[in-house]
Amino acid sequence: MKSLLYMLAGFAVMGLAFWAYSENYRTQASIDKVERLHREISTSTARMSVLKAEWAYLNRPDRLRDLADMNFPRLELLPLAPEQLGSIDQVGFPAEPLLAVTDPVEVMNRNAEEQEARP
């Protein structure tokens, strides 16, 4: 009887050891994946900052003005003047459309019916 219990305990220990090693490998794989994702995020952040700097460089007002002057015969772009801007009062908003009544419902006055029904 004791030997059977020793064998069962030994199998339990071996099963738990196998489970612990498999969990350890899964954990290591997850840690590697998280570290890889952190590296990708940091490289993407660095790349994004470079792209923002390039965008700011390309959108310099003096550069855009020169491009507009160079392409004036084809595009006919003019600088924006303050007179071209308006106030919100000058905007003509469309009128709200009226909703169509599709299923009319007759409403009865219950108090009037009750008064007529009373003698």
Residues 68 and 75: beta-carbon distance below 8 Å:
yes
DSSP string, 90-118: G--PPPPPPPP--S------HHHHHHHH-
Residues 79 and 65: beta-carbon distance below 8 Å:
yes
Q: For residue 66, with 0-12 CB atoms within 10 Å meaning exposed, 13-18 middle and 19 or more buried, which class applies?
A: exposed
Judge if pTM exceeds 0.75. Answer: no
Rounded CA separation 75/36 (Å): 48
**Contacts of 91 by beta carbon, 8 Å cutoff, 6+ apart:** none
Rounded CA separation 113/28 (Å): 80
pLDDT tier for residue 110 given thresholds of 50, 70 and 90: low
Residue 32 pLDDT more than 60?
Answer: yes
**Residue carrying structure tokens 């900052």:** 49
Question: CA 19, 22, 28, 30: dihedral to nearest 10 degrees?
Answer: -90
Q: Model confidence over 70-104: pLDDT tens digits?
A: 998 898 888 888 888 888 888 888 888 888 888 87
